Amino acid sequence: QVQLVESGGRVVQPGMSLGLSCAASGFTFGSYGMHWVRQAPGKGLEWVAFIWYDGSKKYYVDSVKGRFIIARDNSKNTVYLRMNSLRAEDTAVYFCARDGRAASLDYWGQGTLVTVSS
């Protein structure tokens, strides 16, 4: 069955960098685009970034453009999110999700918590 497992979340200070990983299994990873979505404590869902199945195109929400980088390694069935210049407002649970039919996010990981605090 499809499984997505995020890792890398922890407490970091403002201005620091952090990398998240999402390991996929149970499907042909290299055939699907992948998303990162975040949810601040007590808030709604916010889409963060999307990468095409082959990594050729990447899209970001305005608030992270120039600071976050989405990447993937299809040989390792893993999608990454490199987060630089972190701010308090980046504090959230970060989910990875598979891009399914009609731009739906059809499978989600359990999420990893990133806390940006001094």
Q: Decide: is 104 part of the binding site for other proteins (CB under 8 A).
A: yes
Lookup: tokens for 113: 């918590």
Query: Which x/- pattern over 81-100 shows residues binding other proteins (rule: CB under 8 A)?
Result: --------------x-x--x
Query: Which x/- pattern over 3-32 shows residues binding other proteins (rule: CB under 8 A)?
Result: ------------------------------
| CA proximity to 98, closest of 2, 7, 1 | 2
- What string of DSSP letters covers 21-90? EEEEESS-GGGS-EEEEEE-TT--EEEEEEE-TTSS-EEE-GGGTTTEEEEEETTTTEEEEEE-S--GGG
Q: Decide: is 41 part of the binding site for other proteins (CB under 8 A).
A: no
The only residue of 8, 30, 55, 111 in contact with other proteins, by rule CB under 8 A: 111
Which span (7-15, 16-24, 84-92, 106-114) binds other proteins, by CB under 8 A?
A: 106-114
Quote the distance between the C-alpha of residue 90 and its chain's center. 12
Lookup: tokens for 4: 């997505």
Q: Could you tell me the smallest distance in angstroms from the CB atom of residue 64 to other proteins? A: 10
Q: Decide: is 46 part of the binding site for other proteins (CB under 8 A).
A: yes
Interacting residues toward other proteins by CB under 8 A = 35, 37, 44-47, 50, 59-63, 95, 97, 100-111
